[in-house]
């Protein structure tokens, strides 16, 4: 229940919404680029984009073309910061709401 309230309050803030849109945009850019550059399906391209930007990197996919490798270097440089900022901001927002709710109960 608290999770959904946190998401609702997160989405009501313009700065947070912009961060979500930026994260979604960077994932869409990666998905389209890998689909075009590597010839992967959209699902595989999205999967690789998500796994790469969250720094999980299972290693089951890797760019094989020179342009795919160049794009990956640029994509990681720009995208990891954006995605990690989003995850960190979501965590901080959630933590702040949990603390606030605990203080109200006290």
Q: Are 87 and 53 in contact (CB under 8 A)?
A: no
In a domain, 26, yes or no: yes
Q: Does the predicted model carry a pTM greater than 0.85?
A: no
Q: Is the pLDDT of residue 36 over 90?
A: yes
The radius of gyration of the chain from alpha carbons, rounded to an integer in Å, stands at: 17
75 Cβ neighbours under 8 A, 6+ residues apart: 26, 29, 30, 33, 49, 52, 53
What pLDDT shows up at residue 35? 98
What pLDDT shows up at residue 1? 61
Q: Is the pLDDT of residue 14 over 90?
A: no
What pLDDT shows up at residue 41? 98
In a domain, 12, yes or no: no
Distance of alpha carbon 29 from alpha carbon 49, whole angstroms: 9
Q: pLDDT tens digits, residue range 40-96?
A: 999 999 999 999 988 888 889 999 999 999 999 999 999 988 888 888 887 887 787
H or E, element range at 102:
helix 66-105
In a domain, 46, yes or no: yes
CATH code of the domain containing 76: 1.10.287.70
In a domain, 5, yes or no: no
In a domain, 6, yes or no: no
Our count of domains for the chain comes to 1
What pLDDT shows up at residue 72? 95
In a domain, 86, yes or no: yes
What pLDDT shows up at residue 18? 85
In a domain, 106, yes or no: no
For residue 72, the enclosing domain spans: 22-101
Cα separations in angstroms, 4 against 43, 86, 90: 27, 17, 12
Cα separations in angstroms, 6 against 19, 28, 97, 99: 15, 25, 7, 12
Q: Is the pLDDT of residue 12 over 90?
A: no
In a domain, 16, yes or no: no
């Amino acid at each position: 229940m608290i999770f959904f309230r946190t998401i609702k309050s997160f989405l009501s803030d313009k700065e947070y919404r912009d961060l979500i849109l930026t994260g979604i945009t960077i994932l869409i850019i990666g998905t389209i680029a890998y689909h075009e550059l590597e010839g992967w399906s959209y699902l595989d391209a999205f999967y690789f984009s998500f796994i790469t930007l969250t720094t999980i990197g299972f290693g089951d996919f890797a760019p094989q073309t020179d342009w795919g490798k160049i794009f990956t270097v640029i994509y990681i440089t720009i995208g990891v910061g954006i995605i990690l900022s989003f995850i960190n901001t979501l965590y901080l927002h959630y933590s702040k709401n949990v603390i606030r709710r605990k203080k109200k109960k006290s």
